[in-house]
Amino acid sequence: MKRTIAGAVLAGGQSRRFGRPKAFALHQGAPFFTLSVAALAPIVDELYIISHPSLVDEFRRQTDIPVLLDMERYRGCGPLAGIYTAMEWSQSDWVFVLPCDMPYMRKEVTERLAAYADSAFDAIVPLHGDRTEPLVALYHQRLGSVIAELLDAGERRMTALLDRVRVRYVDTNELAQEQKVWRNVNTQQEYES
């Protein structure tokens, strides 16, 4: 049976360090969020943008992709809440999350990572040296209840989830030769360079 994948572009942060919404910053003339969409769209069966409430109207002006707010119970609780929200809306086996602030990510990399999806694992996460990339990862739908437990306990750290589940770590060198695909933009200085 073919596995199904939902894509979730995480754009729910407040971009405090950046000073304005990163999702709409431009890279080579395209808003950041559209670059994340382009990296996911070819490999997913359904696609969502998980948004901060203040950005919903602008997303809806710029795209016809469904724009979701975190489930009210967990609104403002970070990426775990965004993943949980995607799982609540999705009918797919897996949710592939990608942040809106990685303008160098490419579909070839997401395709390679998705190829590692295996139901013997709960999460497929890139490993960059000794650092995980939990926001460029696939999470099995069955993790919804685990994420809810963590959030109900006030736990928001992605590492808390990874510590509780079966994770297949994939070396980033197996996914991309160019290390810049893993670069995210957090500040205006990073953006300008």
Q: Contacts by 37-40 with C-beta closer than 8 Å and gap 24+?
A: 37/7, 37/9, 37/63, 37/65, 38/107, 39/98, 39/105, 39/106, 39/107, 39/109, 39/110, 40/7, 40/9, 40/96, 40/98, 40/107, 40/110
The mean per-residue pLDDT over the stretch 135-150 comes to 98
**Which residues are annotated as part of the binding site?**
10-12, 22, 70, 101
CATH number, residue 88: 3.90.550.10
| Feature table: binding site for Mg(2+) | 101
What number is the average pLDDT over the span 17-31? 75
98-123 average pLDDT score: 95
- Report the pLDDT averaged over residues 6-27: 75
Average pLDDT over residues 177-189: 72
Q: Which residues are annotated as a binding site for GTP?
A: 10-12, 22, 70, 101
Q: Which residue has the higher pLDDT, 128 or 137?
A: 137
What percentage of the chain exceeds 70 in pLDDT?
90
- Structural domain of residue 144, as residue ranges? 5-192
What pLDDT score does 188 carry?
52
**What does the pLDDT average to over 141-168?**
97
1 has pLDDT over 70: no
**Looking at residue 192, what is its pLDDT?**
57
At 187 the pLDDT is: 53
Measuring CA to CA, how many Å separate 189 from each of 14, 28, 85, 87? 17, 17, 32, 34
**pLDDT at residue 129 in the model:** 86
Beta strands in 3-45 (DSSP E): 5-11, 26-27, 30-31
Of 29 and 134, more confident: 134
Domain total of the chain: 1
Q: Please tell me the predicted confidence (pLDDT) of residue 15.
A: 55
